[in-house]
A and B are shown apart, each in its own frame.
Chain A
Amino acid sequence: MTTYILRRLAQAIPQLFIISIILFTLMQGFGDPVATLGARTPPKAEDKERLRRMLGLDQPAYVQYLTWLVGNDWQKIDMDGDGIPETNGRRKGILRGDWSNSLVTRRPVLEMIGDRLPNTLILMGAAEIVIIIFSLALGLYSALRPYSLFDNLVTGLSFIGYSMPVFWLALMLMYIFAVNFRAWGLPYLPTVGMFDPEAGKTPAELIRHMILPVATLSIISIAGYSRFVRSSMLEVLSQDYVRTARAKGVRTVYVVLRHALPNAALPFITLIGLDIPFLLAGAIVTERIFAWPGMGRLFLDHTSRADFPVLMGILMLVSIAVVIFQIITDVVYSLVDPRIRLE
């Protein structure tokens, strides 16, 4: 098992290199970062040239990539933009833990991500837990009573939930539970933000503010995932070994939880395993509407400015997480499915 994990990790290194090269190549078509820096009128041509030199954007793409990867602190670069390299480079490169600086804010990318990541994790983590619990519960219950009134109701609601656009759902929830409930004198929820600035960042405030965005994020996923759990559960319940267990008089709860669920849950684990890395990326639409200062908003704000160090940072973080969680998913698979052995 240890050998397996080590081998997978070794394979991940060239994988990440290739991903980073592809991402960096795609970034080249993102637009000109210098065009959006400046005041009312676009910067003058000579200022643009100087800025490009100062930010190293005048270099060919492969040099920029190498600087991003391994740094430039052994060579002289042109910091004042006069065309003559005279200052020592300050970049260390991502391989030495320097994720570069934002072109827009000039702050270290890692620091900017560090500001946002906890906010995103708390929101997305909570949503994922809600998704897992409700998908399993609804899926299981529907599978045990297929084509019952409850099952049909859940199926119908799932189709509605699945076809709702996120932004519409978010605004409707806000309109009903924050605006109208308040107007009607009912207990209401806040509209936007992580907490009320006057009340401060207390856990109670955080939970109150999380309810609507978590509901937005989970309703659509639950609608899809619960169908998924239902069908794989139905399939397993019709297997011979389940019938055998029932015939032996094993209690239904035991049959379902001990015999059927572990097998039915296998595809679900894959699904969740693929989901988790993307929790880091945040939710662009939901975070924007609920003014949640997370990773999705960071990504959106800096995409419009072609701020490639920040975009590369976020995308690489997600890529690393994808690679790691794939390994974890495979390991978990071998633990729950005796037919799979990791060599």
Chain B
Amino acid sequence: MKRNLNVLLSLLVLASLVLAACGTTPAATQAPATQAPMTEAPATEAPMTEAPVGTDTSTLIFAQAADAGTLDPAIESSANSLQVIYHIYEGLTDFEPGSTTPIPRLATSWEASEDGLEWTFHLREGVTFHDGTPFNADAVVFNFERWWDTDHPYNLGADQFIYWDYMFQGFKGSENSVLAGIEKVDDMTVKLILSKPNASLLNTLAMENFRFASPAAIEEQGEDYATASGMPVATGPFKLEEWVKEDHITLVRNEDYWGEKPTLERITYRVIPDSSAAFLALQAGEIDMLTEWASPGPDQLAQAEADPNIQVLYNPSFNVGYLGLNQAKEWLQNINVRLAIAHAIDKEGIVAALNPDNSEAAKEFQPPSLWGFNESIEDYPYDPTLAAEYLQTAIGEGVQIPDSVIFYVMPTPRIYFPQPQQLGELIQAQLAEIGLNVEIQSPAWPDPYLADLQEDGTKADIFLLGWGGDNGDPDNFLCVFFCGADTQFNNDGAGGGVAPDEEIAQLLRDAVAETDFDTRQTMYEQANQLLHDRVISVPLLHITAPTLARSNIEGYVPSPVREVLTYIVKK
């Protein structure tokens, strides 16, 4: 009988071996590598190399915690997918590596009308998609109509194109839609018509979600477009070579790329879900880089700093973690209460205790690297005595302090709070010092934690939450919170969001409609000052996310929004 079982097992194993071996099908045939001499100096600060760019045969192996869902930018919202999409696709604008400033990519220049409602983009000549389809105004119009018009044959519906809905506030026919029309002016010029001025448009267009796919490829592949059984086709410096679902994605250099060709011949994205295992793979030298999204905890960070074969590359912080104050609760409507809380929290102590290597105390709701940050603001000094005095003043004014303050602390780490539970306990202890009895509650993340805060607003008094930027515009850090979009800071008690301070909300709405950059910048600095003075909430931390790399990796430009691998040189 033992033999019977063994025979059965062997058959199973054999069958699965055969099946597994058949499972690999290259997603594309590899284009013959042609010698492409370097024609122009690199536009970025990437170090010059002796080997001519575009002829190297090196492969960069980059580990992520999960596989991409699809490689269709219109659908995806996870960082793992967008990281790959960034290197295949291009849009009208792009982020300058290392910052969030929009730079020309497939548009060479643009102008906006006086009222900020009409934007004309001049397209780059001589660009073709990976399948040979020319890039022109028709391709741009096709893509925009696919995203915007739910009746377009290749629009996959509002539930799939979530980022369009989110950034452009609606689809064709909806009164909120930022886009009112798209026109082809001539073969190489398109005009976007907006329903209301939107000064963050250039930043939004730099996001991966609004990058162009080949119309011919979308028509040919239909619903399979850029899924694991389809093929993404765009204009970028890399194209897809092979995709083994849940294992790896290999990109190969686009030898026909219109711009400066990358030095790397290939980028392989490997899926390693466990961060300890990924770190060991980096130590062993099996992978070259480990993404910030899978980055190890404080212990491993110290270990990485000590390892001569590994370099820790800190990306400029692009997030904020904050202590939210729910001003729908009567006692928190008193500014002295809010000042008491602000002065009771020892941010420097928190930084030193939790993440000394990669965080800094936050004084504003946006990272310092982003324009609109107000240099002149002085953070609330940590002063428990002063805080207690503010609290006494508030009580003297008749404020009823609840016996138990409900404090929402998320149960799972987020990129802006790597150790939320410890952070929650520190804040609990610091508030206890001024006489607040804080009760920590940790409902499941994301549901019902987020729903309780963002759609209900009646559950928590104070809470931990954070934000990472989408498009590198201060509007995406400030109006998101303080224009009354959701219920976290203030609400009508029936699930509707209310701006915690109408004057600030109006300033922010005016700022996004303003087209003059300097005026906008001043408006955001002013908004940050008001947010500070009126203690609408207490910003806590900016986390600097580390990307880990082997020491032979050069030319990586740490960037706030996306890890840019295009200019890397592997020695």
Give residues in A with beta carbon < 8 Å to B.
31-32, 35-43, 45, 47, 50-51, 54, 81, 105, 115-119, 121-122, 125-126, 128-129, 132, 136, 170-171, 174-175, 178-179, 182, 188, 190-198, 200-201, 203, 206, 262, 265, 269, 272, 276, 288-291, 293, 297, 301, 332, 335-336
Contact between chains at A193 and B247 (CB < 8 Å): yes
Which residues does chain A contribute within 8 Å of B59, judged by CB atoms? 198
Q: Check if A121 sits within 8 Å of B16, measured CB to CB.
A: yes
Q: Are B159 and A191 in contact (CB under 8 A)?
A: no
Once bound together, how far apart are the Cα atoms of A265 and B5, in whole Å?
13
Given known pairs A45-B455, A45-B495, A121-B13, the reply for A40 and B280 (CB within 8 Å) is no
- A293/B245 in contact, CB under 8 A: yes
Does chain A have a CB within 8 A of B447?
A: yes
- Please pick, from B23, B248, B283, B446, the residue contacting A35 in the complex, using a CB distance under 8 A: B446
Q: Which residues of B contact A47 (CB under 8 A)?
A: 158-159
Closest B residue to A36 by beta carbon equals B446
**Is the beta-carbon distance between B283 and A332 smaller than 8 angstroms?**
no
B12 within 8 A of A: yes
Interface hits, B242-285 → A, CB 8 Å: 242, 244-248, 250, 268, 270-274, 276-278, 280-281, 283-285
Give CA–CA (A43, B486) in the complex, Å: 11
A122 to B21, CA, bound (A): 11
Q: Is the pair A179, B283 in contact by a Cβ cutoff of 8 Å?
A: yes
Bound Cα distance A200, B158 (Å) = 39
B444 close to chain A: CB less than 8 A? yes
Interfacial chain A residues near B442, Cβ < 8 Å: none
Is B451 touching A42 in the complex (CB atoms < 8 A)?
A: yes
Bound-state CA distance A179–B286 (Å) is: 10
Q: In the bound complex, what is the Cα–Cα distance between A20 and B87 (angstroms)?
A: 45
- B369 at the binding interface (Cβ < 8 Å): no
CA separation between A2 and B2, bound complex, in Å? Answer: 22
Are B19's CB and A118's CB within 8 A?
yes
User: Would you give 15 A-B contacts (Cβ < 8 Å), ordered by A?
Assistant: A38-B77, A118-B16, A121-B16, A132-B2, A174-B277, A174-B280, A178-B284, A188-B284, A192-B272, A192-B281, A201-B21, A262-B1, A288-B274, A290-B277, A293-B245
With contacts A32-B447, A191-B280 taken as known, whether A39 is within 8 angstroms of B166 at the C-beta atoms is yes
Interface assignment of B370: CB less than 8 Å from any CB of chain A: no
Contacts of B486 in A (CB 8 A): 41
Query: In the complex the two chains form, what is the Cα distance from A171 to B276 in whole Å?
Result: 8
Q: Within 8 Å of chain A (Cβ to Cβ): is B29? A: no
B interface residue numbers (CB < 8 A to A): 1-2, 4-6, 9-10, 12-13, 15-17, 19-21, 23-24, 59, 61, 66, 69, 77, 158-159, 162-163, 165-166, 242, 244-248, 250, 268, 270-274, 276-278, 280-281, 283-286, 444, 446-448, 450-451, 454-455, 470, 480, 485-486, 495
A206 CA / B244 CA spacing, docked (Å): 15
Residue pair B447, A191 in contact (C-beta under 8 Å)? no
Are the C-beta atoms of A291 and B277 separated by less than 8 Å? yes
| Chain B residue, CB-CB nearest to A123 | B16
Q: Is the CB of B163 within 8 A of A39?
A: yes
Find chain A residues with CB under 8 A from B448 CB.
35
6 A-B pairs with the lowest CB-CB distances in the bound complex, closest first: A35-B447, A293-B246, A121-B16, A118-B19, A125-B13, A118-B16
